[in-house]
Amino acid sequence: MVTKPTPDEIGQGYDAFADLLDQLCGENLHHGYWDDPSGDMSLDEATNRLTDRLSGMLPIRAGNRLLDIGCGIGEPAIRMGTAHDIMVTGISISERQVERANDRALKADVDDRVVFEYADAMDLPFQDESFDLVWALESLHHMPDRWTALREAARVLRPGGWLALGDFLLVPGPDGAPAAAARVQEVAKGVLSVVDVDEYREGLRAVGLVPAEAEDVGEYTRTTWSKAAARFEDLREQALQHIDEAQFELTLSRFRGFGAEPALGYVLMTARKPG
Ligand SMILES: C[S@@+](CC[C@H](N)C(=O)[O-])C[C@H]1O[C@@H](n2cnc3c(N)ncnc32)[C@H](O)[C@@H]1O
């Protein structure tokens, strides 16, 4: 049984594999969204499309303060900060990502209102009610406990503020949630915890938020896995400088297995803090 890495291990992993991830994922470390799953939109276009899809679900107003939990190298935050007249703070558990995200904000000429800092989402260094919007795109699955991270997100949201998240989702088939979850665990070899949409809504309510939209967009994001597997295979020589053959094959089998597993969906959700 493989155990989930700690936040420190996650951060060290992102630091160590930064160059490889650049080539595997590009500027966005998240899934792509293909309106036409059989279409030929590139992975880079499709990942920006997912950012736009999720930000389109938020009521963003000029002057808003947005917190990006798990900011990667900053592309979603910079994209939103460029499109809207808002203040963005991004956090990551990877020192190297924070440094690179700040460099990228400077180059994009938005460093006066898009800033990044090192912080753990499980213990946010921000005051209560200090953000209008909180954003977590594909970071919650890394957390030792996504509900603790969401409780922190709810704490720093002002009353009337909005949360948007993108996360893996359990889509139970006819054999039920426990069997579906067991299949996802098997493919993930223990490193991915997923919940279904009802449990997600319940968890959001438990941290004091009111769930709003919830869309399983797995049909539009699934292409990501086959594209990632193909890119990863092309990067074999480079990857083997960091990991051994067994780890390489395990990662490749996860990409392929996730792509083929109907119980693994992808959810875009919003929730509001009452007030
Ligand atoms: C898959 S990447 C997504 C990055 C970014 N949201 C994007 O879409 O490009 C996951 C991100 O979550 C961050 N992360 C994971 N665990 C974290 C934690 N406990 N606190 C803060 N950030 C964390 C990682 O450092 C990384 O930046």
Q: Tell me how far apart the alpha carbons of residues 209 and 52 are, in angstroms, rounded to a whole number.
A: 23
Asked if residue 2 belongs to a domain, the reply is no
Distance from Cα 139 to the centre of ligand 1, integer Å: 4
Residue ranges of the chain whose pLDDT lies below 50: none
Spatial separation of the C-alpha atoms in residues 47 and 22, rounded to whole Å: 13
Residue 144: which region, alpha, beta or left (left: phi > 0; alpha: psi -120 to 50)? alpha
pLDDT of residue 2: 59
249 CA to middle of ligand 1, Å? 24
Domain count, the chain: 1
Domain containing 179 — which CATH number? 3.40.50.150
Question: For residue 130, with 0-12 CB atoms within 10 Å meaning exposed, 13-18 middle and 19 or more buried, which class applies?
Answer: middle
Domain of 65, in residue numbers: 7-272
Any domain includes 174: yes
Percent of the chain with pLDDT over 90: 83
Q: 174 C-alpha to center of ligand 1: Å?
A: 33
Write out residues with Cβ below 6 Å of ligand 1: 7, 10-11, 14, 28-30, 70-72, 75-76, 91-94, 97, 120-122, 137-139, 142-143
